[in-house]
Structure 1
Amino acid sequence: MSLLVLNGGSATLKFALYRRQQVVLRGRIERIGSRPQLVAIVGIGSTLRDIAFTGNDHAAVSSALLDWLEEQDMLDGLEGIAHRIVHGGRDFADPVRLDHTVLARLDTLVPLAPLHQPQALAIVRHLLARYPEVPQIACFDTAFHRTQPWVNQQFALPRTLTEEGILRYGFHGLSYAYITRRLREMLGETAGGRVIVAHLGQGCSLCALRDGRSQATSMGFTALDGLMMGRRCGSLDPGVILYLMQHKGFNAQAVEHLLYHDSGLYGVSGISDDMRDLEASEHPHAQEAIALFVQRVVHEIGAMAAVNGGLDALVFTAGIGEHSQRIRAAICQRLAWLGVALDETANRHHAQRLDNGSGPSLWMIPTDEEEEIATASRTLLSDMTPGSGFST
């Protein structure tokens, strides 16, 4: 009675194997598309060894991972495979079993998440062919934000375009759902207050929560909007795009590549899209990229606090949010006007509770999208296969 969770990113694949609702193995493969490398794995002790990759795309990497898991006899009793799918559009909010009809509908959303959607769907198609009898489940990053007030989902565009589905969808929803559950476990009823979660990683966004439900988020129609990210620009005057196309000779493909691949921390610094590299660099462009990143986060937190009518708690999560004491300190310093007061010792030691006891509570909570995917998938799997052991 095993459940395999696959969480595909633009150049990564995180995975976790559950037996009877307990995780027994988890890991991460990076640099997909160039030189795939297993960089982290936890579980099964002495049986672990490296994985040999013969291809560098997501389907080839997932195939090598499954070969390795089979060699280790870890897939006996496999009853489900659950996937993170970034964009569910208007049609998909709850977990759904994947088949070729559903995949065809998800293909239409590829232009809205070109760094993630095609890669995840390629993995699904490979595994449908490999394990045709094993149910595969999709969990959607956009689903968490469907609770937002309608006014917060709209753009100021002609109504016909809104009705066609050009809306603010928001992303990182699986991360926000997990953080929301953790806050309830930690804080009880007070978790229902005015909370802002800062998901700061290679991709970055904010979510304003009230009563544990999404009220607003910094990402919009695509995963380009909002905060400055590793290689994505975040919010941008649309007139810049018109200027590039009308006066600089950019076509749509060149604009897409600029905004998704050549901007953000990488574009501003000219050095790296990794915050760790920039913090270690003394180059003024690296420091400028960090300053701009902090500025954008502070700006958007102010907007989220306005939407929520104040701030009771601020949560940092994801790679930068969990590991960069410098970025957390810089953001909190700029939020003193909201009553934010950071405990420097707690921050330096990456403690879970980061405030000094006054003002809004401050938290660092590691996210676990794989756990959220597993939790969200079990009910659907138990309904499909009664007696499977997936019942919660």
Structure 2
Amino acid sequence: MTDVVLVLNAGSSSIKFAVYPSGTNTVPLIRGKVAGVGRDPVFSAVRADGTAIDMVMPKNIDAAADHEALISLLLDWLAEHRADRRLVAVGHRVVHGGRDFLKPVIVDDSVLSQLEQLIPLAPLHQPHNLAAIRAISRLQPTVPQVACFDTSFHQTQDRLAQLFALPRDLSDEGIIRYGFHGLSYEYIAGILPDHLGERAEGRVIVAHLGNGASMCAMKNRQSVATSMGFTALDGLMMGRRCGALDAGVVLYLMQSKGLNATEIETLLYRRCGLLGVSGISNNMRELERSDDPKAREAIELFCFRAASVLGGLVTALGGLDAIVFTAGIGENSALVRKLICDRLACFGVDLDPNSNEGNSPRIGSVQSSIDVLVLPTDEEIVISNATNETVALG
């Protein structure tokens, strides 16, 4: 009997999962995804070697099946697929840990209640992260669950990097900059020495560019500053989120356009960013294929904003030794990397065109004074390792 850890990353429309043998730094036995949650779900999975697994699921799945129903089917499938595996723990990505959760924690009713209070700060993610935890609690009540937080990695920042220029009593209540995508940054920090050697301890900016996007300035492989703040709305332009916005715009939308808080939340989280500017799509691949000038403008604005934020983060580091691109857009869009790096020539950044087009791990030219890397991220292994360590497995 093989003990295994299940890793879940539950979003609004998908549930990513991975199954690892118990023990840290192991290779996943299975990776997969349930796409189309709530609107005709589709299961897919691959083995460790990348070969597809035929996931024979019930044909009568309700098209509107929720997280609990789909996780129940997933657990049944995992049990039937390999009956010699015993589930000993489940690790979850939880986007917001607030001020109280600075490291992974075993979830109980008290922890779950505290995390529910943070839903307004991450409305796109937190409710679905917690729905997966509740589902496992009902389906497998004796299996320990560990919450791993995207905010935890940024706890090394000093006070100035965390403060807004708000009245002190509001800051003391917790209205501060938390930062996100920490699980991704933790993984990249862990592998940097393999690619940069001693320079990994230097001044590095990691650009996590996907449908959600942020940047993190690191020194000694610890977070010094990041682009996201109190919520995941801040910072870079994203797929559907506008990023940093003059707070006066929100007041204008309320006072002159008559929008209420719910309408503003929908606008800022779902109708802005690449989708809003292009009017076409939030998918970078689709925009790159389009000949519509609005699509090109959306791409160029995305890159202009990214380069501007990166330049600002250089001041937090006092210089720059390396840039790392990661996540869906960062790993796969040569055009985005070029447009961003072209604006960073003043820092000594210069790309090798062939390496960039080939998505090579090193894309800086021999003339570049700044190392430029493209490194795939792996949040699941970070969650698996943390789960093992937190519940003392293996």
* Same-fold call, TM cutoff 0.5: yes
Pairwise CA distance, 1:67? 2.2
Count of residue pairs the alignment pairs up: 384
CA distance in 2, matches of 1:32, 1:8: 10
Q: Which amino acid aligns with 1:16?
A: A
Q: Check whether the contact 1:14–1:28 (CA below 8 A) recurs between aligned residues.
A: yes
| TM-score (structure 2 length as normaliser) | 0.94
1:276-307 deviation digits (Å, cap 9, x = unpaired): 11001011111111111011101100101111
1:131 maps onto 2:130 in alignment: no
Are the aligned partners of 1:30 and 1:37 in contact in 2 as well (CA < 8 Å)? yes
Pairwise CA distance, 1:171: 0.2
Aligned mate of 2:301, from 269, 289, 292: 292
Q: CA deviation at 1:40?
A: 5.3
Map 1:1-392 → 2, pairs under 5 A: 1-20=3-22, 21-38=26-43, 41-43=46-48, 48-52=54-58, 53-54=61-62, 55-73=64-82, 76-357=85-366, 358-382=368-392, 388-389=393-394
The CA deviation string for residues 342-391 of structure 1, in whole angstroms up to 9 with x for no partner, is 01110111100111123100000000000111112211121xxxxx42xx
Distance 1:203 1:156 in 2: 25
> Per-residue deviation at 1:75?
7.4
Distance in 2, Cα, partners of 1:290 & 1:219? 20
Change (3 A) 1:27 1:71: same
Task: Tell me the distance in 1 between the aligned counterparts of 2:381 and 2:110.
Answer: 27
Judge which range, 49-58 or 247-256, deviates more: 49-58
Could you tell which deviates more after superposition, 32-41 or 16-25?
32-41
Q: Contact 1:215–1:308 at 8 Å: present in 2 too?
A: yes
Q: For 1:23, what is the secondary structure of its paired residue?
A: coil
Residue 40 of structure 2 aligns with an amino acid whose one-letter code is R
Q: Which is worse superposed, 230-239 or 36-45?
A: 36-45
Matched AA of 1:9: G
Structure 2: how far apart are the matches of 1:46 and 1:173?
A: 29
Give the secondary structure class of the aligned counterpart of 1:91: coil
The one-letter code matched in structure 2 to 1:373 is: I
Contact 2:30 2:45 in 1 (8 A): no
Q: CA deviation at 1:74?
A: 5.5
Distance 2:116 2:204 in 1: 34
Tell me if the contact between 1:69 and 1:75 (Cα under 8 Å) persists in the aligned partners.
Answer: no
Question: Quick check: 2:57–2:77 contact (8 Å CA) kept in 1?
Answer: yes
More displaced stretch, 341-350 vs 49-58:
49-58
Q: Deviations over 1:239-261 (max 9, x none)?
A: 00000000101000000000001
- The one-letter code matched in structure 1 to 2:27 is Q
The answer to whether the 8 A contact 1:29-1:36 is kept is yes
Q: Is residue 194–residue 210 contact of structure 1 (8 Å, CA) maintained in 2? A: yes
Runs of 5+ unmatched residues, structure 1: 383-387
Kept after mapping to 1: 8 A contact 2:46/2:53: no
> CA shift at 1:150, angstroms?
0.7
TM-score, normalised on structure 1? 0.94
Q: Does structure 1 retain, via aligned residues, the 8 Å contact 2:325–2:373?
A: yes
Q: Would the aligned equivalents of 2:350 and 2:365 in 1 still touch at CA under 8 Å?
A: yes
In structure 2, relative to structure 1, the CA distance for the partners of 1:214 and 1:75 (3 Å cut) is farther
Q: Percent identity among equivalent residues?
A: 52
Look up the equivalent residue of 1:49 and give its one-letter code.
M
Cα 1:170/1:47, change in 2 over 3 Å:
closer
Which 5+ residue runs of structure 2 have no aligned equivalent? none
Aligned residues of 1:320 and 1:327 also touching (Cα < 8 A): yes
Cα distance in 2 between the residues matched to 1:39 and 1:304: 39
The answer to whether the 8 A contact 1:89-1:169 is kept is yes
Aligned to 1:385: none
TM-fit CA distance, 1:29: 2.7
